[in-house]
Every structure is written in C-alpha cells, then in structure tokens.
Structure 1
Amino acid sequence: MPLIYAFAIVALIGIVAFVVGRQRAVSQAGSGVKQHSRIHYHGWWAFLLATVPAVIFLVLWSIGSSVYMRTHVEGLLPEHTAESPIANQSLELGMVRSLANGLRRLDGETLSKLPSTFGELQPLLSAKGIALAPDTQDYMIPIAVEANRTSDRLSLIGAGLGFLLAIAGAAFGIRQIEPRGRARNKVERVVLGALLGSSMIAILTTVGIVLSMLFETLHFFSRVSVTNFFFGTVWDPRFAAAGAGNTEGQFGLIPLLAGTLYIALVALLVAVPIGLMSAVYMSEYASRRVRSVVKPALELLAGIPTIVYGIFALVTLGPFLRDLSAALTGGSPFIQAQSIFTAGFVMGIMLIPVVSSLSDDIITAVPRAMRDGSLGLGATQSETIKRVILPAALPGIVGAVLLTASRAIGETMIVVLAAGVAANLTLNPFEAMTTITVKIVNQLTGDLEFNSPQTLVAFALGITLFAITLVMNIVALYIVRKYREQYE
C-alpha cells in the first residue's frame, strides 16, 4: 500500500476519534462537574493519540523498509567482480530499481507470463512508455520481481500495524475523557513539542549545511595552500601535468571576490536610489488609492524568477548596450554584451522592490509626532522628510541596504548569464568579470566526483560566500534592532 494512502487512512481514523471524543465530552458536560478543559480539547487529544504515534511508526517503518530492501536486493545480486557486466554496484542497484518500477506498470496478465530475457521484455515496457537502460541484464528480471513482492509485503504489514496503532490510540484517548481531565495541558504540550521540533529542524539543517561545506573545505585546504587560495590573483583550476612543477596561484580567490563585490556595488547603485525614492513617495506623498496600486505593481518585480532577469540581460540588454556603444564610437564596441554593468544593472532592477519595501516599512514606522512637530514649526514637507524623517529612519535604511547587499552577493542566475566567466581583475565596468557563484556552478557542472581540488574548491568558495553574507546579515539585523529599540 502506498504510504500516502496509509497516512490518509490514519488521518481518517483521527478525525473519527476527534468527533467521538468531542461528543463524549459534550455528553459529560451535563453531569454537573466543572470541566477542566473546553470540549474541543478532548477531541483534539483523542485525535493526537490516534495520529501522532501511527504517523511516527509509519515514517520509521518506511525508512527501515528502504534500508532492508537495499540489503535484500544486494544479497540477491550475483557476486560482484571486475569482469561483471555492470562494473559499478551502485549502478547495478539503480538499474534493478528502475526495472522494478517499470514492472509495476505492467498489468497482471503480462506479469504472469513475464519473459525471462530483457530483449523480450523491452518491447512490452516500451509499449507502456517505459524506457530503461539498454544494458539491463537478464538476471535482473527475477530480482526485480522479488524486490516488488518483498516491498508489497512490507508495505502491507507496516500499514496494518499502523492502522492497529491508530485505532488503539483513538480508543485510549476516548477512554481518557472525563470532566476533570487535563486535555488542554496535554494538547498544548504536544503543540509546544511540535514547535520546538520545527525550530530544531531549522537549526540542525543550517548546522548540517555549514558542517558539510566545512569538512569538504578542510579536505580542499589539505591539498591546496590556504594562502594561495585567499591571496592568489590567478584563477585557473586546471592542475599542471605530472612533473610540471608547482601549481601555486591556480585557485586564487581575489579575482572572483573582486567581481562579486563589483557587481553587487553596481546593483546597489541602481537599486538603492530608485528604491529609496519610491519608498519616500509611497510613504509621504502618494494618496491611499495611488499607494494601493503602485506598491503591489512595484513588488511584482520581486515575484519574477531570477532566471528571467538573466535571460533578459543575456538576450536583450547586453546585445543592446554592445550595439549602442558600437554606434557611438563608429567602430568596435566599448561595452561587452556580458559585462559588470549589464549584470549589475539587471540585478539592481530586481532588487528595487527589496529596498523599496523595507525602506517603506521603516519610514512609515517613524512616529507621527516627529512629522507633526516639524510641520508645526513651519518646515515644509520636503524639509521635514530631508531633515527629520530620513535621519530618524537612517539606521533602519542602512540595515535594509545591507540586507539587499547580501542578497546581491549571493545572486547566481543573473551573473551566470550576464557577467561572463572570465576571472579578470579590472576597474572597467564595461568588461566581463566573473563571480564566486558563477565558479561554484562551473566547478560542480558535469559528471564529477568530489575527490579532486577542482571540485572541492566549490565548497571553499561556498563557505567563503556564506561567511561574507552571514556577517552582513548580522550587521544589518543589529542595526535594525537598535532602530526598533529607539522607537518602540
């Protein structure tokens, strides 16, 4: 039985337990004994006892079944040798799994007359639109059949035990219902545990991401000098041939870091003025009707996927700037199609709603009394904005700019398509430079194994980028918090 069906039946048992438990609590409410908890808490407690243990059991059973199935299939495979038709055991297991999934789509009559060779079976699978690797071996067919039978047996046993556990939990929860029963306390403890578990999952996920990058980064630095990485000015991840001498400077971070910061700076020069001025207009000048139209229209830019911005830069803006520069000089263009300016300008357009939305909220939070006091002393609205509101909102605006900068530094798709892949050191914004994110994509693209410096360097780049954005986010949140403490 598919796991989703088992969950659905357990949920149905829980709903029945809720209804019956609530009805039992209603019948006890007229006994004259003061109720400790409201009626619906008793129903929810019965629901939780019916569903939570059963769901946990089904999840653990599914994980254990997957581990057992892998071990079971490995035991059915013939002894693995260098002369085996399939040299890689992991590939062999994947082929058996794909074949087993394909056999599930065949009808019962076909399965009862299943061919013994893959050459005879392949046309039947192709007729169902099932494509398998052409080097699938004949000995895999009975193994795939046995794998499906064992998997179905385990699913049926697990579902049956899960249903019995759900029914037992529902019966136990319903029997516990009494007027002085502390159902509210029990339900709230379960909810508190769920909230704590969700928080721990988020924290542990972050820790796991950092540790996974850190261990691979340490592996990289065991093979490449830390000094050459952080202070090298040459990026050429290809190792020299054996005996060709040392390869220092091939993994220099400086060109990538310079390109990342340069493009982020150009993006901020576009996004911050436009976003800040639009925030001032919407918070101080626009009527409520205009604001209700302009603000959603501006924030619509934030909903466009970054790949769309990248395609726009690659196909439209980049060639336009190149052709425009060629027309102005009457010769070769001085703006490349893939350049710092192209990527930074398009990224700045994407970041306008981020700056605008954050700044608008910050400016709106400035106390009304400061506006009224300035206007009461005879200042104009523009003078009030310039000399009272913006200085008061400056800490929050600085925090918003730093948050936007961290978003710009971590952007990937726009710079992949619009910034180029050349690891240059230049001050000319009309030339191509690459970024850390571009090189992470390049180093992890293709059929690679994570055992060479050329691949491991992506983790070193990733943790460096993570550290930069983390510091910027901490500084921004600190500034915003100090701003909130000032006015709340």
Structure 2
Amino acid sequence: MTERTAGPDLTRRSGLTRLKEGTYGGFFAACAALTLLTTVAIFATLLSDALVFFAEVPILEYLGGTDWSPNPRGGGQTFGIVPLLIGTLVVTVTAAFIALPVGTLTAIYLSEYASSNARAILKPLLEVLAGIPTVVYGYFALVYVTPALKATLFPEMSTFNALSASLMVGIMTIPMVSSISEDAMSAVPDSLRQAGYGLGATKFEVSTAIVVPASISGIASSYILAVSRAIGETMIVVVAMGAQARMPAVSELAFGIPLVNPADVLLDSGMTITVAMVQIAGGDLVGGTLPYDAMFALGLTLFVVTLLMNVLSDIIAERYREEY
C-alpha cells in the first residue's frame, strides 16, 4: 500500500486552458529574451567598434593617458581617459554626498514618522523630481545655482564648474534613493518595531537600530543604483560643467605625498565621459575615423562600469537580505 494521501487535483486539464497558459508563458519569455538580447546587442555594437579603436590606440595608453584631445585643431590626437575619469568621479562622489544622506533621511521620515495622509502626498511629490528633464536641472544650475554660489561663497568660481553640476545631479538622484529605501523600510515587519517599543525603545531608536539595519540590503542597493545613475548623467554636466578635459594641479606634501586642492576641481570646468561623447558627436564627425571609434570605447567603458555597479548591487542585496 502506498503511504501517499490522495488529494484533490487542482490542475486544469482542459486543452484550451493549457494552450492559453502556454501562450502566456511564451509571451512573457519572449519579453524577457527581448530585454536580454537588447543588452547583448548594445554590448556587441560597442565592443565591435571599440576593438577597432584599440587596434589603433593601445589600451594602456587609453587607460593611463592624461590628455584628451580627439579633435585637435593642431597637433596629434590623444585619447587619455584619466581626465575624463577624474571629472566623472568628482561629479559622482559630490552628488553622492548629497543624495545618499538626504535620500536616506527622507526615507526614514516617510516610513517611520509621516502619517499615511502625509506619505500619500509627499512621496508622489518627491518622485516628481525624477520626472523633470535633466536639461532643466542643467539650465537651473547654470542660471541660478552658479550665480548664487559666486555671489555668496565662491566668488572665484567659473561660470561652468563641477560643483553646480554635482549639486543638481545629487538632487536629481534623491528620489531614487528615498523611494527604494522607503520601500525596503516599509517591508520590515511591524512585529520587529513592536518588539523594540516593548523593550522601551523610542521611535528614533527603533528607526535607526531596528528598521534601518533590517532593510540595509535595499538601502545599499538604492545607493549603488543612484551612483550608477550619476555616473551616466549627461545633460546636466553638458550644460553646467562645461567641456574642458583638464588634469587638476597636484602639489606635494611632506614625504612626497600628492595633494589635490578640491577647489581646483569643483570650482572650475571639467569633462566627464558622457560629455566627451557628446562633444565628439557634435563635431565634424565622419564614420570610420578614430574619434568616431573613440565614442564606442567611451561607451563600452561606461557600460562595463554600470554593469559592475548593478552586479554589485545584486550581490549586496542577496548577501544581506533579511527573510521574514
């Protein structure tokens, strides 16, 4: 005799039903495959032209060069990506100093302190920031933020500078941090909060010592996604930062320790990787030339960096995800 208990058969045996379910499954699988194939096609397109570029320019010269001049009026072409990486890093780090703490604190307020009515109003209003065209942020930085900073804190600031662009990129990425972090905090079971209150903890202690650590995987993922968004930002830095690839002045401290004055980087113009791509595309570009292929090398660099950031986000989310 078998020990298995016969239970009711809840599956549908209709041939038409199986056909419909199979059609739905195939449609969903096709959508997933289309997304994957699009990513693979973008990578293959970037890689094919980037290989042509690296056949002319050694990859070590590209990664270690300190001069970027793809369309010089005189002299030879140089394709050193270091000044572009510095400009991209400056914008990304400065924007992160704004977006990450402000976005996290906003998420804590929306999740733990705001009433349901206030949350229903404030969260959509906050997410409107993500829908504003980035060129508007750039125009606002150029016309309002830079003159205000020059008139008050930094009179020596250039018209095109990295600080104003970074401030706007940080403001633009706040909704991404706050929305994803708030969703992660709201997913924390109320039983953990009630246990903290039962032990005599205050709302602040519950928020910072229970809710935030329990949702750390979602918060860390929002950080990495926001940084990835800042790395790839284009229009804000095109309008507000300028288009001059430059290496910052390096001085030496005791024992030969190099030092870069942050004001030399933040208060002057610069160029990011995305701006360099726009500048090349806006010139007298001819297909098959070295500057044309350089665009694909820059695009491949951004693609790889963004891919690594997203993979890191998934690893962190999987490693520190709490299951309740």
Q: TM-score range by the shorter chain?
A: 0.7 to 0.9
Unaligned runs of 5+ in 1: 1-34, 38-181, 327-332
Aligned to 1:437, which of 250, 263, 274? 274
Query: Cα RMSD over matched residues?
Result: 2.0
Listed as ranges, the matches of 1:12-91 within 5 Å are: 37=14
Aligned to 2:90, which of 237, 262, 269? 262
How far, CA to CA, are the matches of 2:187 and 2:297 in structure 1?
41
Aligned to 1:188, which of 3, 7, 21? 21
The reply on whether 1:312 has 2:135 as its aligned counterpart is: no
1:232-270 Cα shifts (integer Å, max 9, x gaps): 1111124697xx7xx58x111111011111101111111
Contact 2:232 2:302 (8 Å CA) reproduced: yes
Deviation of the 1:475 alpha carbon:
0.6
Counterpart in 1 of 2:53? 220
Deviation of the 1:224 alpha carbon:
1.0
1:178-234 Cα shifts (integer Å, max 9, x gaps): xxxx32223333333222222222211111110010010000011112111001111
Listed as ranges, the matches of 1:254-333 within 5 Å are: 254-325=82-153, 333=155
Counterpart in 2 of 1:408? 230
Deviation of the 1:272 alpha carbon:
1.1
Contact 1:367 1:487 (8 Å CA) reproduced: no
Deviation of the 1:348 alpha carbon:
0.8
Counterpart in 2 of 1:68? none
Task: Sort the Cα spacing of 1:450 and 1:487 in 2 relative to 1 into closer, same or farther, 3 A.
Answer: same
Residue type of the alignment partner of 1:288:
S
Aligned residue pairs total: 298
SS at match of 1:336: coil
How far, CA to CA, are the matches of 1:313 and 1:240 in structure 2?
30
Aligned to 2:157, which of 319, 322, 335? 335
Contact 1:370 1:388 (8 Å CA) reproduced: yes
How far, CA to CA, are the matches of 1:432 and 1:366 in structure 2?
44
The reply on whether 1:374 has 2:213 as its aligned counterpart is: no
Deviation of the 1:447 alpha carbon:
4.7
SS at match of 1:451: coil
Contact 1:321 1:337 (8 Å CA) reproduced: no
1:1-22 Cα shifts (integer Å, max 9, x gaps): xxxxxxxxxxxxxxxxxxxxxx
1:357-413 Cα shifts (integer Å, max 9, x gaps): 011011112222221122111121112222222222223212210111001001111
Displaced runs of 4 or more, over 4 A:
none
The reply on whether 1:251 has 2:86 as its aligned counterpart is: no
The TM-score, its normalising length taken from structure 1, stands at: 0.58
Contact 2:145 2:164 (8 Å CA) reproduced: yes
SS at match of 1:318: helix
The reply on whether 1:475 has 2:312 as its aligned counterpart is: yes
Contact 2:285 2:291 (8 Å CA) reproduced: no
The reply on whether 1:229 has 2:62 as its aligned counterpart is: yes
Residue type of the alignment partner of 2:323:
Y
The reply on whether 1:205 has 2:14 as its aligned counterpart is: no
How far, CA to CA, are the matches of 2:33 and 2:215 in structure 1?
35
The TM-score, its normalising length taken from structure 2, stands at: 0.86
Residue type of the alignment partner of 1:487:
E
Contact 2:217 2:318 (8 Å CA) reproduced: no
1:304-343 Cα shifts (integer Å, max 9, x gaps): 11111111112222233223346xxxxxx32222211100
Listed as ranges, the matches of 1:90-169 within 5 Å are: none
SS at match of 2:86: helix
1:119-149 Cα shifts (integer Å, max 9, x gaps): xxxxxxxxxxxxxxxxxxxxxxxxxxxxxxx
Counterpart in 1 of 2:256? none
Aligned to 2:289, which of 441, 452, 460? 452
Identity %: 40
Residue type of the alignment partner of 1:308:
V
Which fold has the larger relative contact order, with Cα–Cα distance below 8 Å and residues 6 or more apart in sequence?
Answer: 2
